[in-house]
Each structure stands twice: as structure tokens, then as C-alpha cells.
């Protein structure tokens, strides 16, 4: 399978505030890129999946 680069934008809630984020993820599909983003945000910021809202996913060309 060919890997693609996806640009993901969204928000997450932490410390009673909403923060924006933007990430570039290398993945096989859009769904896998979303899952990878949730995993990374949870790992880096100690967030639960329901605290992260993915707003936009674009395939980078």
C-alpha cells in the first residue's frame, strides 16, 4: 500500500481551555491518519480521545 501525507487540523480541551492543533501524519488511509492523530495527542498531552476534535483532514500533494 502506498503511504500518503495527511494534514490534520482540530482542537483539544486541556486546562479548561480549547487549543488548536495542526499535524502532518503519514498514513495509508484517512481513517488511519485520524487514529494516529488521536493516539499521538493522547500520548503527548495525556488527553482522552473525547477531548480531541478533528475538524479537517486533507491529503497533502
Predicted pLDDT at 61: 76
Q: Which of 33, 30, 40, 24 is nearest to 12 (CA)?
A: 40
Q: Which fold is adopted by the domain 4-60?
A: Ubiquitin-like (UB roll) (3.10.20)
Structure confidence at residue 40 as a pLDDT band (50, 70, 90): very high
pTM over 0.95: no
Structure confidence at residue 23 as a pLDDT band (50, 70, 90): very high
For the chain, which residues make up each domain, given as ranges?
Answer: 4-60
Residues 60, 5: Cα–Cα separation, whole Å: 5
Rounded mean pLDDT, 20-35: 97
Amino acid at each position: 500500500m502506498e503511504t500518503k501525507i495527511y494534514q490534520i487540523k482540530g482542537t483539544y480541551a486541556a486546562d479548561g481551555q480549547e487549543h488548536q492543533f495542526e499535524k502532518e501524519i503519514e498514513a495509508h488511509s484517512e481513517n488511519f491518519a485520524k487514529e494516529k492523530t488521536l493516539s499521538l495527542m493522547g500520548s503527548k498531552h495525556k488527553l482522552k480521545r473525547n477531548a480531541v476534535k478533528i475538524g479537517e483532514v486533507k491529503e497533502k500533494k
